[in-house]
Structure 1
Amino acid sequence: MANVAFIGLGVMGYPMAGHLKTRGGHDVTVYNRTAEKAEAWVKQYGGERAATPAAAAAGCDFVFCCVGNDDDLRSITLGPDGAFKGMKEGAIFIDNTTASAHVARELYDAAKAQGFTFLDAPVSGGQAGAENGQLTVMVGGDADAFETARPVIDAYAKMVGLMGETGAGQLTKMVNQICIAGLVQGLSEAIHFAGKADLDVEKVIGVISKGAAQSWQMENRWKSMADGTFDFGFAVDWMRKDLSICLDEARANGARLPVTAVVDQFYAEVQAMGGKRWDTSSLIARLEKGEK
């Protein structure tokens, strides 16, 4: 059992912090910008809530966070009441935010200068994965810190891998999002085509999902896509944020991402249709706009 803090109780962080308490058996202190969310978490799980990130981090062996973007991450770490002001020597800060590799390296350097360390550890699996404790965690940072933190991270994960030095976790998450963007667009076009061809979509998916076309997206999203329902956890706004990070990194490293860039613009069309909070499978909506 360890003293643990969790900063950021959104749709991902709330259940992740819960697993650290219930599965991991750790003493957990939480902080959330909206205090009511932290109060609700404590009422549900026990533990403590803190008034600032610094207070949450004070005395903890491990401090986790899951916030929105680079600016949010800097605010809760380096801000006037940021967690880095409360970190004890030898502690480990584990960042589950999907952010840039640049900010991961910046915060690693700041942490090491203060006598503790930092792991970039973005996750994949969406809201369902967080709620079920079945996330994939891609980690960048020092190997010894990873080995120390891994048993704690296991509380909310089905797969935890050290991908390389600082920033490698975020870079791996970019690869993940690039794959998903192309897969969802392909699946959208396939379901749209099947409908236009007067095929029974359920029968088609039942067959092709057992062959080379199979994917998690196909298995878990085909029916809701065919029905035009998009009320799952990972919103289009978030995906556009993630793809922006991918495209920025590609411009810096020289990678060419033509499909990713096009799909990003397709998501912009979905946003313009009012789908900012629809889940990412809503790409099919732009193909069938006006038909239902």
Structure 2
Amino acid sequence: MAKVAFIGLGVMGYPMAGHLVANGHEVTVYNRTHLKAEKWVAQHGGRMAASPAGAAEGAEFVFACVGDDDDLRSVTTGPGGAFEALEPGMIFVDHTTASARVARELHAHAAEHGAHFIDAPVSGGQSGAENGVLTVMCGGEEGPYARAEPLIMSYARSCRLMGPSGAGQLTKMVNQICIAGLVQGLSEGLAFAIKAGLDAKAVVEVISKGAAGSWQMENRGPTMIDDKFDFGFAVDWMRKDLKICLEEADANGAALPVTALVDQFYKDVQAMGGGRWDTSSLIRRLR
């Protein structure tokens, strides 16, 4: 059993922290909205703290899952941030999808205090968090990662160290780049099938068994056809992630023409009032 802090109880962090308790760890939580922290404690036990620093005090591991770079800086190096409680040997595991730049910045800050920082963004969405089957891609040193991996596996089915600080975030960018183009292609294909008068669900059943098949097709194809878009990862968050990808591409010289185009398509979805629809809602533009 480890003494653990978990900062951020959104749709991902709330169940992830619960899995840590279920695996026998002593967990203290912090959330900006205290009512959600109170609800979590009532459901899972443990205790809540009034600040990130209060949650992190005396912890062996501190986990975070917040919104973006600014949120991450706020709960780490801001007033009352978790880094006020840094101690030698402490391991901070960040599950936020953020920039590689902020990961390296916080890694260096932690190292100044003899602590460790692992950037560990996740893939799998809300259902993956709830069912404990996330994919986690990490950046950092091998020693701290080896210590943190058994705890991360409380809510993951796959976890891998991808390289030094920032490598986890860069890998998550690759994930989002691939998803963006795939969902647009799937949207166009399904919209074509509907306009051609085909039974779109029958089409999905057939082609998902061949080269066109994908997780998105099998899990979101039928719901896209049914015009249902309340399955987790929101358009607003996807645009945040794609902005990170495009900024990194500007820095490293990578060409992302399709990603840039799909980002604008998601902007169209936002203009339609779909900022909180899930990412498969790209098909709405084509109907």
Shorter-chain TM range is over 0.9
Q: Is the 8 A contact 2:201 2:225 kept in 1?
A: no
Q: How far apart, CA to CA, are the structure 2 residues paired with 1:45 and 1:87?
A: 26
Question: Distance between the aligned counterparts of 1:65 and 1:203, measured in 2?
Answer: 42
Q: Which residue of 2 aligns with 1:17?
A: 17
In the alignment, the residues of structure 2 paired with residue 47 and residue 199 of structure 1 have an alpha-carbon distance, to the nearest angstrom, of 53
Using the aligned pairs only, state the percent identity. 70
**Matching residue of 2:2:** 2
The AA in structure 2 aligned to 1:263 is V
SS, match of residue 107 in structure 1: helix
Which residue does the alignment assign to 1:244? 243
Opposite residue 11 of structure 1, the aligned amino acid is V
Q: TM-score, normalised by structure 2?
A: 0.99
User: Equivalences for 1:65-104 in 2 at 5 Å?
Assistant: 65-104=64-103
Question: How many pairs are equivalent?
Answer: 287
1:63 partner SS: strand
CA distance in 1 between counterparts of 2:107 and 2:98 reads 13
TM-score (norm 1): 0.98
Distance across 2 between alignment mates of 1:115 and 1:237: 36
- List per-residue Cα deviations over 1:230-280 (Å, max 9, x = no partner): 011100000000000000000000000000000000000000000010000
Task: Give, in whole Å, the separation in 2 of the partners of 1:206 and 1:233.
Answer: 23
Secondary structure of the residue aligned to 2:224 is: helix
Q: What is aligned with 2:121?
A: 122
* Corresponding letter in the other structure for 2:262: V
Q: Check conservation: 2:116, 2:144, Cα contact below 8 A.
A: yes
Deviation per CA, 1:137-193, whole angstroms, max 9, x where unpaired?
Answer: 000000111111000100000000100000000000000000000110000000000
Cα distance between partner residues in 2 of 1:198 and 1:192: 10
Structure 1 residue 168 corresponds to structure 2 residue 167: yes
Report the CA distance between 1:197 and its aligned residue: 1.1
Q: In the TM superposition, what is the alpha-carbon distance from 1:86 to its structure 2 partner? A: 1.0
What are the residue-to-residue correspondences of 1:57-68 with 2, within 5 Å? Answer: 57-68=56-67
- AA of the residue aligned to 1:114: H
Q: Please show how residues 137-216 of structure 1 align to structure 2 within 5 Å.
A: 137-216=136-215
User: What is the match of residue 30 of structure 2?
Assistant: 31
What are structure 1's unaligned runs of at least 5 residues? none
Deviation at 1:121, TM superposition (A): 0.1
Structure 2 Cα separation of the partners of residues 63 and 206 of structure 1: 44
Tell me how large the CA RMSD over aligned residues is: 0.5
Residue 148 of structure 1 aligns with an amino acid whose one-letter code is R
**Structure 1 runs of 4+ off > 2 angstroms?**
none
Letter of the 1:7 partner, please give it: I
Tell me the equivalent position of 1:268: 267
